[in-house]
A and B are shown apart, each in its own frame.
Chain A
Amino acid sequence: MLRALFLAFALFLSMSGVQAQTQSPTEDLQTVLQRHAAEVANPGRLSVGALIADLVASRQPNVASFLERWQDKGVYQRTTDGLFFYAIRQGDAYALTNMTTGESAGTAPADVMTEIRPNGGVRRVIGAALVQFQLSDPDRARRVAALDAISRSPDADQIDPLRASIEGEPDPALKLRKERLAGHLRARFGKSTEDRIGAINELSSALDVETRSVLNLVLTTTSGVAPSVPEGTNVARILKVGTDINEAVAYNRLVDANLAPAPIPPAAVKAALTANITDGRVGGIPVGQLGNETNRSDAYDALATAGTVPPQVTPAIRTAALSSNVFYDAYTEPNPAVTDAARAALDEVEARVARYQIIDISMDALSLASIYFLAAIGLAITFGVMGVINMAHGEFIMMGAYTGYVVQLFIPDYTISLLVALPLAFAVTFGAGVAMERLVIRHLYHRPLETLLATFGISIALQQLAKNIFGTQARPLTSPSWLDGAWVINDVVQIANIRIAIFVLALIFLALILFVLKRTRLGLEVRSVTQNPGMAASMGINPDRINMLTFGLGSGIAGIAGVAIGLYAKVTSEMGSDYIVQSFMTVVVGGVGNVWGTLAGASLIGFLQKGIEFFNPSNTLAAQTYMILFIILFIQFRPKGIVALKGRAAGD
């Protein structure tokens, strides 16, 4: 082992020497091999070093592949002339390959070819040399492959070649990775305790999953039980029965460690009783009375006393066994200094990870909030301005998504189709909204509950229509490739581009809506109709027109939200109903008739949902349930939402 390390190190030196001289290669591979023919044909673990050093010094490009083949027993010697070939057996003959040129060298009968079989020790030496080659290979992909291989199956031999290759690494990213990997190897397999602790302390500044798993590996524990903790055990913790470990599990450990008799499970008791029925009785108790635990236990004890069956483990035996043994978790790593350092490092890393996770969740929450905002803002406008609850709002979202899907059928370029789909979706749903306002809602003003129901009727009809046209299966709305990736900040914090895009879209819409409402003539008219329709009408504003445009605008935004949602979720006829309740919640929680309120509502709901999901990640259904319950309670305390209008303007 040491020898191999030394060899690899020597190899590195020789190689950098060669590099320094920038000598052009003179000898081909075969020539070098022939010089060491005996060693090649029958390599020894201790003597092979010189050969490998020579091979490396030759700077032939195919040395690495020779070493691989050699290691894999793919190299043959032709007994007739002593030349080496790569050979593959074909029937009775071998197909030969010239190892210098890589070209076919004809075939040779089996009896003239000798397979070269390096033994295990030699193969390890070759492997170490190979790692050195691969780690310094001019081809970046091969270097990455070598690093991957080391990560997959790390061992102590790799430390030195890896460290040796760090300096010559031209790629900064790979260099970083090499350094990190070297740190991992040292932490696990370092030569001295000091070396390992040093490496472990360096790891505490990392964040990545691999580092965490390395530290965890160092901290691997096994559970143990013994009358007393054995000498020299690096104890992680002592487990108290009843609090740290439940009695049944603890007792099973005792049984597994042969420190206590195995308990007889109820099924076994039953089987034993069944097997020992004599004259309608078991252990003197009539079979008919065996319908309860006590009698069964008595009958079994009777059998046990007679020696027919092993005795039961009584609670007393059990308690005694449990109390006379110590249950503990022990580190597999025997050196407490190392485990202490690793524990400290891991704690530090995990604290940092937790901090970043909070950032990550906040970003997730932000993007969820953007989606809710997009889905709800249209609703908020119609509800706030017109006091109309549009139950078909979700179906407008769906309509927008299907518009995007249909556009993609005609325009194969996803970027262009997206650019076409957004305004088209707006136009389609704007039209649908205006039509609905003209045909239905106009006749139902001042009857909000009936509007709710009528729009619900439209909602079921639209949903079923979509089902009839597009079928029940989900349709894809593919995002352009530039939206596919993710913005990776570090190993913990990353966010998908599509979510960033939706966030930006939400911001754009927020700005746009604020602009329209606050800075344009339409906005002024909308606000005046909201506050006092009678007065607005007498000042020459046509409330009909305003209502129509407002409704169209709200619906149009729903269409655009539909395209955005369709990009990251599936387009189905039911997608609208998935968002409608959340949208209502957003509007109600935020406070009606206020863009900022909707923003606040969306943020609250987005952060809340992500927060609950964080604490209970396996169960999104439960998260939604809790969120809705929270909202119901929230409404109790702020019935008018976060941003509430006060006083007379609020009306009653």
Chain B
Amino acid sequence: MTQGFLSKNPSVLWFLLVLGLFTLGVTVLSETAGVGLISTSFVKTLGKTLCLCLIAIAMDVVWGYCGILSLGHFAFFGIGGYAIGMWLMYARTEIIVIKSLNAAAIPPTPEEITDAVGQQIFGVVGSTDFPWLWAFSDSLFLQLLMVVLVPGLLALVFGWLAFRSRVTGVYLSILTQAMTLALALYLFQNDSGLRGNNGLSGLQNIPGFERTPQAVISLGFFWASALALALGYVLFAWVVSGKMGSVIRGIRDNESRVRFLGYHVETYKLFVFTLTAVISGIAGALYYPQAGIINPAEVAPIASIYLAVWVAIGGRGRLYGAVLGAAVVSLMSSWFTGGGAPNIPLGFYTIQWTDWWLVLLGFSFVAVTLFFPKGIGGLFDIIVRKGDQK
């Protein structure tokens, strides 16, 4: 079945080929391979970018294909990050604690270990007890399950509530934004059980790989991210092709017509919303070990809006557009704000990109919305059409 699907969607094969070549190229040029043209920190940046591309295609499916402008998908991304971060932090702290407790004459009891780990993790928020949220934090398997389940369930409940009362359009956007804000505000509290605005840190240290150099770990995560993106791309391309794609694009263009054709529109929206939320969670779970730290600011509503911006700039309604948008804008963002871009002296004033990048981004985004509603992806259409004419 999948073969037939791939042969009918050559763009998926092209995408996989480009992604494969890119992954290979980065590997060959990385420090681990000995060439060192690409530094470890840049490998991390690229790996993170791939995760952002993954959530961008999820956003594209839910917005570009199904017409739901969700301003909450970064919340799912953050939840995925928190879920994996809890295990990373717990397991690593446990290793350190056991090491130091083993120095004593008497072997530690499990209670002592738990207390000491709790002290280490929650000392910053003035607590030592483990909140109920951390019940499964000692199990990698269960936390991985959480990466999928928590965003999925949240999306399911929220989506069910919202779609069943026919909240659509900008109302839905505002509502998803409110959900994100509520989550961020909750996480900002010190007694949220997730270390308040300290967030979770030290996530780049993977328990069990203490002796492995970061260069190798980061390459590993880069591969994992590339693999996740490839799988996600194939999955979404499959979902949006064929009859399913037909129905969800129908929902985007004329919801009530689809309803009168006998499709239960709410179920479809819920399906798309939940599926993309789960994929966003997975993307987050891969992103934050590379970022090393997650805090509530990451979940703030603005992040989800930026996500929409990437997809819009890349080009909605085509998966590679979303990938392109996320990659280009996020890489440019880190180039400009990281001081990589040269400042422009005007004589009376020097434009420092660290200050002016957001102004440029804001206005170019307005320009894209006004003049290139199809985004960068739309350029491909022009090129392809010109090719046809010749």
Contacts and interface: CB of A to CB of B under 8 A. Distances in A.
Please determine if A and B sit in direct contact within the complex, based on CB atoms under 8 angstroms apart: yes
Interface of A: 266, 270, 273-274, 277, 282, 287-288, 290-293, 296, 389, 391, 440, 443-444, 448-450, 452-454, 456-465, 467-468, 577, 581, 584-585, 588, 619, 621-622, 624-625, 628-629, 631-633, 635-637, 639, 652
7 contacts: A453-B309, A460-B362, A588-B174, A622-B186, A625-B186, A628-B185, A635-B175
Given A291-B108, A619-B189, A636-B161, A457 B169 contact: no
Contact of A468 (B105, B175, B355, B362): B355
Nearest to B164: A636
Given A457-B365, A459-B362, A628 B309 contact: no
Given A464-B358, A588-B171, A291 B178 contact: no
Contacts of B181: 581, 624, 628
B256 to A, nearest CB: 7
Interface stretch (B216-224, B229-237, B275-283, B300-308): B300-308
Given A288-B107, A465-B359, A632-B178, A449 B173 contact: yes
Interface stretch (B80-88, B137-145, B366-374): B366-374
Given A290-B107, A291-B108, A652-B256, A639 B173 contact: no
A283 to B, nearest CB: 12
B109 interface: yes
B178 A628 contact: yes
B361 A460 contact: yes
Contact of A629 (B106, B110, B182, B356): B182
From A266, A444, A588, A639, residue with most partner B Cβ within 10 Å = A639
Given A453-B309, A581-B301, A639-B167, A458 B173 contact: no
A463 B361 CA distance: 12
A209 B302 CA distance: 45
A464 B356 contact: yes
B106 A270 contact: yes
Contacts of A449: 69, 169-170, 173
A635 B171 CA distance: 9
B165 A461 contact: no
> What are the nearest 3 A-B pairs in CB distance?
A461-B362, A457-B365, A464-B358
B54 to A, nearest CB: 21
From A277, A444, A454, A631, residue with most partner B Cβ within 10 Å = A454
Contact of B178 (A288, A293, A465, A581): A581
Contacts of A288: 107
B186 A636 contact: no
Chain A binding surface SS class = helix
Interface residues of B, number: 54
Contacts of A652: 256
Nearest to B369: A454
From A266, A467, A625, residue with most partner B Cβ within 10 Å = A625
Contacts of A457: 309, 361-366, 369
Contact of B189 (A273, A287, A621): A621
B182 A639 contact: no
Contact of B105 (A274, A292, A460, A628): A274
A450 B373 CA distance: 9
A632 B362 contact: no
Contacts of B167: 635, 639
A462 B188 CA distance: 26
B106 A452 contact: no
Given A581-B177, A581-B178, A584-B177, 7 more contacts: A274-B105, A288-B107, A448-B169, A453-B309, A464-B359, A633-B161, A635-B167
Contacts of B169: 448-449
A293 B373 CA distance: 67
Contact of B165 (A291, A448, A636): A636
Contacts of A391: 305
A174 B177 CA distance: 56
B369 A450 contact: yes
A453 B365 contact: yes
Nearest to A630: B182
B319 interface: no
A454 B105 contact: no
Contact of B355 (A287, A454, A467, A635): A467
Contact of A452 (B164, B170, B363): B170
Contacts of A266: 111-112
Interface string B103-121: 0111111111000000000
A585 B109 contact: no
